[in-house]
Amino acid sequence: MASHDSYTGRLPGLFASPDTSSFTEFLGAYSPELLPGGRTPPASRAGDDIPHGTTIVTVGFPGGVVMAGDRRATAGNVIAQRDIEKVFRADEFSAIAIAGTAGIGIEMVRLFQVELEHYEKREGRTLSVEGKANRLATMVRQNLGMAMQGLAVVPLFAGYDEERNEGRIFSYDPAGGRYEERDFHSIGSGSVFARGALKKLYRADLSAEDAALVCVQSLYDAADDDSATGGPDLTRRIFPVVASVTSDGYRRLGEDEVGALAQAVVDGRYDSPGGPTAPLR
Amino acid sequence: MPFYVSPEQQMKDKADYARKGIARGRSVVVLQYDDGILFVADNPSRALHKISEIYDRIAFAAVGKYNEFENLRLGGVRYADINGYQYDRRDVTARGLANVYAQSLGTIFTETAKPYEVELVVAEVGDDAETDQVYRLTFDGSVADEHGYVAMGGQAEAVAQSLKDGYREGAPLAEALRTAVRALEAQDSDRRLEATSLEVAVLDRNREHRLFKRLSAARIGDLLSAADGSAGSGGAADAAEGEGSKPEPKQKPESDED
């Protein structure tokens, strides 16, 4: 650290550099090598042998939002990790999850978490939900060069809006496009299957617990049809990560809670392997 | 034309200047209680804080010139966040931060014409009272490792004397807050502090993740009346004694002004 404290003015670098409350901007001036966006993308396209995270789902309900992710990371045809975590607390009132190149995604999440907390501590207020979502868009866009070389990562962001008293969902494309989603959304390789399930299971008046159940059901459907998505592993007791964000803040559901949900979903599938059916008329 | 001023005299003048600036403001007290560390400032402003969060287990309290300690606070947040990002959240320590502040304040004091008129406390809450760390930093960059309680700014001596009389190790939050407020009231003989004119925060070791929490005016009021209630009904003997039956002697305020 001392090497950065080149004595130019009255105070060393920590105190003197650009007057910004953005951690990323400060990092760019102070230790640019730590900034993900500053790296040169590899000259040739990366292969399949770097772990990828897969399916994330999120469901809104009155007063909040639930987000869940399966636990599998794949490298080509190999299961690279069976208990990876891809859903994180972003700050007290928001959650973030990633799909795509796991290493880059996890780094992005860490930087985003510090970014939000740094702003909050310096300014004495939290960013608006839109402000957080926009900041994340910039970070995704900075990864575009990597994305073009096959190292894409796409986050899903969900926050509790204190002014509107509701959950809000934002999805992204690898170029940094930011889209607000209504009701529910899914990303990752199993997302098409998960979305089909979400569409049939979503109701506007879900309770928080039912919203979590919808997430686990849709992840089961994703794992059913997508080889890169892991289903609930009852033998090893590895279950999806499920988190809710409400006016009480971010809460990750306990292992026993998710275990009970997963057990109920799996039990139900013995009778009807396709899961709950929607009324035809 | 230019007079020769000896280095001793220069340093003394700077130190006197800084001390006077710090004594002009209102006091801040920091004290350990059973669940962590309590910070209380005589500060009616809701926006300009004297007490702030630095990191998960670390907080900052300051007296003196606002722009100067605010600059130090912002730098401290950067120090903590960059270290936590580079290494791990557990690798951010109050000791490291106190060293950075000591270096900066020391450099400013010796190398510039005008020293910072600030005094700081950097505190880190541990798993129990023995592992709590409280560092006091003065305008010249000296660091002191404190235990129990600290008073700084304004009539710091009078406040410290009141803390010395009223402080009890392992006190619950309400009692510790009452002790702190009574100490702050010792700044002036006729000063009475309402909940709305106090800035209060805690580092509570029983919280999760980020342990720093500001207390709302309503909560401060509740705690103070709880402390008064238990004292009135004859709870702790020492608390009841300080409650008004026997006003504690507050003397020698003139000795600390030079």
pLDDT of B229 > 90? The answer is: no
A46/B97: higher pLDDT:
B97
Tens of pLDDT, residue by residue over B114-166, are 999 999 999 999 999 999 999 999 999 999 999 999 999 989 999 999 999 99
Q: Do A34 and B86 touch (CB under 8 A)?
A: yes
pLDDT of B14 > 90? The answer is: yes
User: Nearest CA to CA, how far is B4 from chain A (Å)?
Assistant: 25
CB-defined contacts A:B, below 8 A: 55
pLDDT of B98 > 60? The answer is: yes
Q: Do B82 and A31 touch (CB under 8 A)?
A: yes
**In chain A, which among 103-162 make CB contacts under 8 A with chain B?**
110-111, 114, 117-118, 121-122, 124
A257 touches chain B (CB under 8 A): no
pLDDT of B174 > 60? The answer is: yes
A190/B234: higher pLDDT:
A190
**Which of B75, B85, B210 is closest, CB to CB, to A14?**
B75
Measured between beta carbons, the chain B residues lying within 8 angstroms of A7 are 107
Q: Do A34 and B85 touch (CB under 8 A)?
A: yes
Determine the CATH number of domain A47-270: 3.60.20.10
Percent pLDDT > 70 in chain B is: 89
Contact at 8 Å (CB) between B239 and B227? yes
User: Which pLDDT does position A16 carry in this prediction?
Assistant: 65
For residues B243, B248, B254, B258, the Cα torsion angle rounded to the nearest 10 degrees is: -70
pLDDT, chain B, mean: 88
Q: Do A14 and B49 touch (CB under 8 A)?
A: no
B7-256 folds as Glutamine Phosphoribosylpyrophosphate, subunit 1, domain 1 (3.60.20)
User: Which pLDDT does position B160 carry in this prediction?
Assistant: 95
Could you tell me the residue ranges of all domains in chain A? 47-270
Active site residues of A: 54
User: Which pLDDT does position B2 carry in this prediction?
Assistant: 74
pLDDT of B246 > 80? The answer is: no
Which chain B residue shows the shortest CA-CA distance from A115?
A: B81
Measured between beta carbons, the chain A residues lying within 8 angstroms of B78 are 14-15, 26, 30, 118
User: From CA A67, how far away is CA A79, in angstroms rounded?
Assistant: 23
Measured between beta carbons, the chain B residues lying within 8 angstroms of A122 are 74, 77
User: Which pLDDT does position B108 carry in this prediction?
Assistant: 93
Which chain A residue shows the shortest CA-CA distance from B210?
A: A92
pLDDT band at B1 (very low <50, low <70, confident <90, very high): low
User: Which pLDDT does position A96 carry in this prediction?
Assistant: 98
| CA neighbor of A251 nearest in space, from B48, B208, B162 | B208
pLDDT of B195 > 70? The answer is: yes
Q: Name residues of chain A where pLDDT drops below 50.
A: 1-11
**Which of B47, B77, B210 is closest, CB to CB, to A118?**
B77
Q: Do A11 and B103 touch (CB under 8 A)?
A: no
B191/B155: higher pLDDT:
B155
Measured between beta carbons, the chain A residues lying within 8 angstroms of B107 are 7, 10-12
User: From CA A188, how far away is CA A228, in angstroms rounded?
Assistant: 9
User: Which pLDDT does position B254 carry in this prediction?
Assistant: 40
A4 touches chain B (CB under 8 A): no
A202 touches chain B (CB under 8 A): no
Encoding tokens for residue A170? 């934002």
User: Which pLDDT does position B251 carry in this prediction?
Assistant: 42
User: Nearest CA to CA, how far is A12 from chain B (Å)?
Assistant: 7
Among A252-266, B9-23, B218-232, the minimum mean pLDDT is found in: B218-232
